[in-house]
Amino acid sequence: MIEVNNLHKSFGDHHVLKGISATFEKGKTNLIIGQSGSGKTVFLKCLLGLFEPEQGTISYDGRVYSELEPRERRDLRQEMGMVFQGSALFDSMTVEGNVMFPLDMFTKQSKSEMLDRVNFVLKRVNLVNSNQKFPSELSGGMKKRVAIARAIVMNPKYLFCDEPNSGLDPKTAILIDNLIQEITREYDITTVINSHDMNSVMEIGEKIIFLKDGFKEWEGSNMEIFKTDNEAVTNFVYSSELFKKVRQMYLEERN
CB closer to ligand ATP, 41 vs 230 = 41
Task: Compute the least distance from the CB of residue 34 to ligand ATP, in Å.
Answer: 6
User: Total binding residues for ligand ATP by CB under 6 A?
Assistant: 11
Q: Tell me what percent of the chain is helix, strand and coil, each rounded to the nearest 5.
A: 45, 25, 30
Q: Which is nearer to ligand ATP, 58 or 153 (CB)?
A: 58
Q: Whole-angstrom Cα distance, residue 30 to residue 231?
A: 22
Q: Which is nearer to ligand ATP, 17 or 149 (CB)?
A: 17
Q: Which is nearer to ligand ATP, 51 or 134 (CB)?
A: 51
Residues 128-147, interacting with ligand ATP (CB under 6 A):
none
User: How big is the chain, counted in residues?
Assistant: 255
**Between residue 8 and residue 27, which ones bind ligand ATP under the rule CB under 6 A?**
11, 14, 16
98 binds ligand ATP (CB under 6 A): no
d(C-alpha 20, C-alpha 8), whole Å: 7
User: How far is 109 from 195, CA to CA, in rounded Å?
Assistant: 35
Kindly write out the interface string for residues 22-61 of this chain, putting x where it contacts ligand ATP by CB under 6 A and - elsewhere. Answer: ------------x-xxxxxxx-------------------
Min separation Cβ 37 and ligand ATP, Å: 5
Pairing of β 80-83 and β 207-212? unpaired
Q: Using the minimum distance from each CB to ligand ATP, give the nearer residue, 14 or 171.
A: 14
Q: How far is the CB of 14 from ligand ATP (least distance, A)?
A: 6
DSSP string, 156-186: -SEEEEESTTTT--HHHHHHHHHHHHHHHHH
- CB of 200 vs ligand ATP, minimal distance in Å: 13
CB of 40 or CB of 207, closer to ligand ATP: 40
Distance CA 130, CA 68 (A): 40
Helix (H/G/I), strand (E/B), else coil: 46 = helix
Q: Cα 121 from chain centroid?
A: 18
Residues that bind ligand ATP (CB under 6 A): 11, 14, 16, 34, 36-42
